[in-house]
Structure 1
Amino acid sequence: MTAATHDVFAAEDDRRRVVIIDDDPTGTHTASDIDVVLRPDTAAFGAFLRGPRKAVFALSNSRSLPRAAAVAMVAGIVEQARTAAGATGDELAFLLRGDSALRGHVFPEMEAVLQNTSGLFVPAFLERGRFTRDGVHHLSVDGRAVPAAETEFARDRLFGFRSHRIADWVDEVTKGRWRARTIALDELREGGPHVVRDALFDAGPHEVVVPDATEYSDLETISAGLLAAERSGKSVVVRCGVSFATVRAGLRQRTIDDRRLSGRGRLLVVCGSVSETSTRQVSALGELAERRIEMSTDAALGGCPALVGELTTRIGEELATHGVAVLSTERTAHPGPDTPAVLLDAIADVVSAVAPTVDSVIVKGGITSSRVATDGFGARRATVAGQLMPGVPLWLLENRPFVVVPGSVGEDDALRRLVTAFSG
């Protein structure tokens, strides 16, 4: 076959239903009119397959889990989806949507989908200035493209790394178990989809193909090459950022006019993320920042029995008096490996207590969003309505507006603008 006459496919040419396994709730950055299964099980996938939509997000939240638990979670989701597909006669394609800053259990989760196979890794999130060029993944920092290894994400307590070149990063994070085959940008653009197809065919077990990509047209080329390889019988496990997931699943973005949000009742703002971006955004809330209800880390770690009741009362008073309440963790990095989980448990307990009095929600932090939605509001499914600003999706939890603001996303005034939109 030659690229001139064959094997150039678009996502709509593929009849398989697409399950996007998302390692935290921020994979819906660029999607609209799609459901998110917050508590995956066979029944939930059965409901998806009986419906009209081609793709669905399934939240694993695995980035917040230890490695073994993350692998078990992903493997379980794959098994549940395949069981449901067996009952409906559908064919499935899986995408592992992960962090565009190179964090997460990337390769163990790929092996949880399919053992001893080749991979495709496309971490781009173009709307946030995150792209791969010259074999180096870059992130936008203050409007400047910076190698990921030089950003705060490379210093992550669990997923930190030192390597600049993506091939070296693969070797570093897998301790040599996987190796990378890169495709330069010029090669991709000159050769088209067949370059990706051929690279995937040549890749052996535990070898991942990592193409450069700086524009959506590059992602479309990569997607066409992936589909060509798969149609010719090659098994490939895909790990990607949100931009490639959007292209491969045939999703569309829609910007929501935030003026439609005014008058949505009592608003709860929750900030669990302690990234530098999050702290600046909380500070920019002005008077609300001064009135915010801050959860004591020491009290949460000490299992203070009065903590949840005290915070619940204070939130109720703020909602009754001002219509807006802000709950946040302390604005310092969390010491100790168990601290984030303990704080998230406490946040979920507080939100669960105040949920009946809340009409709209804004949550800062991906993993925080997951816990607030599932354990705070008891939701099993959400629908993505669109984006309120680049990288900030609006979910609907049984028609309750629920805004997911990833920890590293948004300008300093993002939270303030969102609160203003809701409060009118």
Structure 2
Amino acid sequence: MTSELRTVVLDDDPTGIQTVHGCRIITRWDPETVRSALCDEVPFFFVLTNTRALTPDAARAKIAEIAGTVLVEAKKLGVRAVFVSRSDSTLRSHFPLECNVIRAAMLDAERAGAKEQTDIDALFLIPAFFEGGRITRNDVHLIRMQNEWIPTDRTEFAKDSVFGYSSSHLPSYIQEKAGVDGASVLSLSLETLRTTEPEALVDRLCSLRNGRYVVVNAESYADLERFCLAARAALGAGKRFLFQTAASFVKAFTATPDVGLLGSGVSMDPRTHPRGLIVVGSHVQKSSEQLACLLQEPEVRGVEIDVQRVLEDGPPYLTRMVTEIECIWNEGVTPVVFTSRAELPFPTTGERLEAGQRVSRFLSSMVRVVRLPLRFLISKGGITSHDLLVDGLELSSARVLGQIAPGVPVIRIPEGHRLAGVPYVIFPGNVGGATTLREVFHTLSDVE
């Protein structure tokens, strides 16, 4: 294959940029925007789909539209799109729905090009995320908690009311989610990755056929880099692969070099932009612990958003909350807006998703109407961060600056925007320790 590769990461929330820098993110996928991203000097980009917040049918329709547009524009430009479905490193996603939709779009593109239709050769499941303490060993996905490696099926994440699962043994997980025989799932073990000669590993990948599911074990970037070198060689030889991954794979696959963490210099000038704004939507235990730690700081003041009031009394409640936020900010402290921590019961998953979307739209509207010279903006939680980016800040494209803490990405709001130059911190809900949110606040505020 001679076509130049372009890596297109369909990210089901905006936190997948947590290991990279310099690339573009786009939040819309009209042909002009996609074409511009495909032509960017950085040969990979993220499409923020927010599908984790959607029903399966809505996610299916959105991914089909995006993948179809990417394939049409890539063909016009004479480049080859390699798709990565980036999702949660604790296995919460619409898997395998989104990959199946991409597979169908690839077949449709071949049909339109009058080519012989062939399925992908393999779909790789690679959920390792080292910055967040997630590895895969002996086909079991593990998370670092309280200085122990715990199978993710023993955590709160496996009990998610929308994306729950029963096994972190990845072949069994695939069987549960995709309905295939777990015994048919192939595995690349740590031993295979570490002891197989590079040419032999490429040959092994080139032998894959018929859309086989393959689990990739990894405990470090060295493991992923060995796999990625072989995968890129196999792609160059014409193999057709899809990747369902967490964020560490993207860094390894794109060979993004290491850079240092961002510091206080990323914030706006405190003489004209004295304070920031923090919004916490995520409800996972780690987010609540980080929120509690942050609220102990004298330089911040909490503003609790009552979710029940949002659902029952939207616009008047919004006006009241915006006024309260602006008053607190003008008193010389940083407002920390957070949703009430108790999770409300709903009769169906669909109703729960709809309620979550309404709360997220409320937070987005709040950010959109607040008129303050912010020094920085922090959003905690993937879905919250996406909606603030798209609906609150109304951004269609931006570039990733880097990370302000391991696994915590930052973008710069572009010129021409009412908040031009302000750093926007996209803080994943399940990343960091109890003090990490407070530490990020200290860095951006230049507090010792």
Q: Normalising by structure 2, what TM-score?
A: 0.86
Residue pair 1:134, 1:184 contacting (<8 A) in 2 also: yes
* TM superposition shift of 1:356: 5.3
* TM superposition shift of 1:386: 0.9
C-alpha deviations, 1:257-300, integer Å up to 9, x for none? Answer: 42314525331100000111111111112146983111111111
User: Which residue in 2 is equivalent to 1:23?
Assistant: 12
Distance 1:294 1:228, change over 3 A: same
Structure 1 distance, partners of 2:141, 2:344, is 27
User: Which residue in 2 is equivalent to 1:8?
Assistant: none
1:176 aligns with 2:198: no
* TM superposition shift of 1:377: 1.0
Aligned-partner residue type, residue 370 of structure 2 = V
C-alpha deviations, 1:337-390, integer Å up to 9, x for none? Answer: 132112111111111111554342011001110101110111111211111110
1:155 to 147, 155, 159: 159
Distance 1:155 1:404, change over 3 A: same
Structure 1 distance, partners of 2:318, 2:326, is 12
C-alpha deviations, 1:72-112, integer Å up to 9, x for none? Answer: 21221112222322333322222111111111012111111
1:420 aligns with 2:442: yes
Aligned-partner residue type, residue 277 of structure 2 = L
* TM superposition shift of 1:39: 2.3
2:292 to 264, 283, 287: 283
**SS of aligned partner of 2:79:** coil
* TM superposition shift of 1:335: 2.7
1:347 aligns with 2:363: yes
Residue pair 1:95, 1:238 contacting (<8 A) in 2 also: yes
Structure 1: unaligned runs, 5 residues or longer:
1-12
Distance 1:221 1:150, change over 3 A: same
1:164 to 158, 168, 174: 168
Structure 2 distance, partners of 1:14, 1:85, is 10
* TM superposition shift of 1:50: 3.2
1:295 aligns with 2:305: yes
* TM superposition shift of 1:148: 1.3
Aligned-partner residue type, residue 41 of structure 2 = P
Residue pair 2:262, 2:402 contacting (<8 A) in 1 also: no
Structure 1 distance, partners of 2:371, 2:65, is 30
User: Which residue in 1 is equivalent to 2:276?
Assistant: 267
Aligned-partner residue type, residue 391 of structure 1 = G
**SS of aligned partner of 1:343:** helix
C-alpha deviations, 1:156-184, integer Å up to 9, x for none? Answer: 11111111311111001123378521122
Distance 1:143 1:39, change over 3 A: farther
1:190 aligns with 2:195: yes
* TM superposition shift of 1:410: 1.3
2:135 to 108, 131, 135: 131
**SS of aligned partner of 1:403:** strand
Q: Normalising by structure 1, what TM-score?
A: 0.91
Aligned-partner residue type, residue 299 of structure 1 = R
**SS of aligned partner of 2:394:** coil
**SS of aligned partner of 1:209:** strand
User: Which residue in 2 is equivalent to 1:64?
Assistant: 53
